[in-house]
Structure formats: C-alpha cells, structure tokens
Amino acid sequence: MIPAREALDRLREGNLRFTANVHGSDPFPSQRRRVELTNTQEPFAIILGCSDARVPAELVFDQGLGDLFVIRVAGNIVAPSLVGSVEFAALRFGTRLVVVLGHSQCGAIAATLEELRQPNPNQSRNLRAIVDRVRPSVEGLLETDLRNDLDALRKQAVRANVRVSANHLRHGSEVLEHLIEAEDLLVVGAEYFVETGGVEFFDVPG
C-alpha cells in the first residue's frame, strides 16, 4: 500500500514530466506488464475526473497501465454509483489517495451557468441530471459580483464544483469517512489547466 502523501508526490512529479514533454512511463506496456496485471492490480491513486477528451488522467500524470483507478463523468460530479466506485477501489485495492480532478474550460460548468442564467425548458432530462448535480456548487456565485464577469465566474465555478464533490466524498460515505479517520485516506481537489497542461492541487491538509 502506497501512503497518500507519497502517491500525491508521484502525481505531482508525473505532471511535471507531462508539462516538460518528458515521459517516464512507457506508452506501450510490455507483455510482461500486461501479464502481471492479469489477475491483480494495485492502483496508487483514485482519480474522479471529467470526461472531457482533453483531460486523460493517465497522460496528464504520466502514469502507466495499472497505476491509476480512473472514474470519468462530465463535470466530475458525485452520484451514488461514483461514490461506490471510489469505495470499491479504496476497499479492494487499498488505494489511499482520491483526487477530484476538475479542469479549466469545463463544458459541464459552462452548461450549468448557462442554464442558471437562461433556463432551457427543452433540455434532455439526462443532461439536466448532470446540470442539477453541478448547480448547488455554483449557483451561489451568481449572487456575487462575479455575475458581471463571465470569465472569472467560470474559473471560480470550476474550483467550487471540485470542492463540493470532494466534500461529498469526505462526508457522504460512511465507508470513506471510516477510511479517512482510521486508515489515512486522503481526498484532495485539483484543477487541470488545458492551456498549459499543469495541475494545481488544493485543499490538501497540512
């Protein structure tokens, strides 16, 4: 089992390689590595990220086959099945780091803000389900001066949405609460910047 702090350092180092265009992981795993993973896996981090095609976690953090347990959904939202996926990896594989990974220029955030500013009565109920998950984290921002600066509003909304999802994982699951208290599970937020390739971690306990 890799401790959460060590896992976080691995992700930081991997992202530095990614932004420097220096690869430490073989993009084409050897047959030996594939065979090693046939009956077992030991991912050192769980990544709950957005489905955006520009944010593949394995590439962003320069990790190889079997290194990360990645859960992707538009807007990196938290729903019961996604919480269950995090619980599964934490319990089954002993993974001790969970990262909620948002990103700049997030389409789900933009869609939610558009819906709050100008509701669309014809929106698909499935798309609305995503918007409704994001809504509580961002609607309060529209009551501030940010409503007059759409670019700044979107930037703040990305962080707010990540924080809500991370807090949901910390406090919305008895399984994860127990692992946080008893076994040093760490849940942190992060933002990937599509403009630079860099990742900034935040709300990491001191």
Per-residue confidence (pLDDT) for residue 23, from 0 to 100: 78
Per-residue confidence (pLDDT) for residue 120, from 0 to 100: 81
CA distances (Å), 36 to each of 33, 66, 73, in order?
Answer: 5, 10, 28
Domains and CATH numbers, the chain: 4-202 (3.40.1050.10)
The per-residue pLDDT string of the chain (206 residues; one tens digit each, 9 = 90 and over) reads 899 999 999 999 999 999 999 877 665 667 777 777 677 788 999 999 999 999 999 999 999 889 999 999 999 999 999 999 999 999 999 999 999 999 999 999 999 998 888 888 888 888 888 888 999 988 888 889 888 888 899 999 999 999 999 999 999 999 999 999 998 999 999 999 999 999 999 999 87
**Dihedral, CA atoms, 165, 95, 64, 160, nearest 10 degrees?**
10
Cα–Cα distance for residue pair 98/100, rounded to 1 Å: 7
Per-residue confidence (pLDDT) for residue 28, from 0 to 100: 64
Cβ atoms within 10 Å, residue 95? 25
Per-residue confidence (pLDDT) for residue 27, from 0 to 100: 59
Per-residue confidence (pLDDT) for residue 26, from 0 to 100: 63
Cβ atoms within 10 Å, residue 80? 9
Per-residue confidence (pLDDT) for residue 31, from 0 to 100: 75
Is pTM, for the whole model, over 0.85? yes
Phi, psi of 4 (to 5 degrees): -60, -40
CA proximity to 93, closest of 32, 175, 2, 190: 2
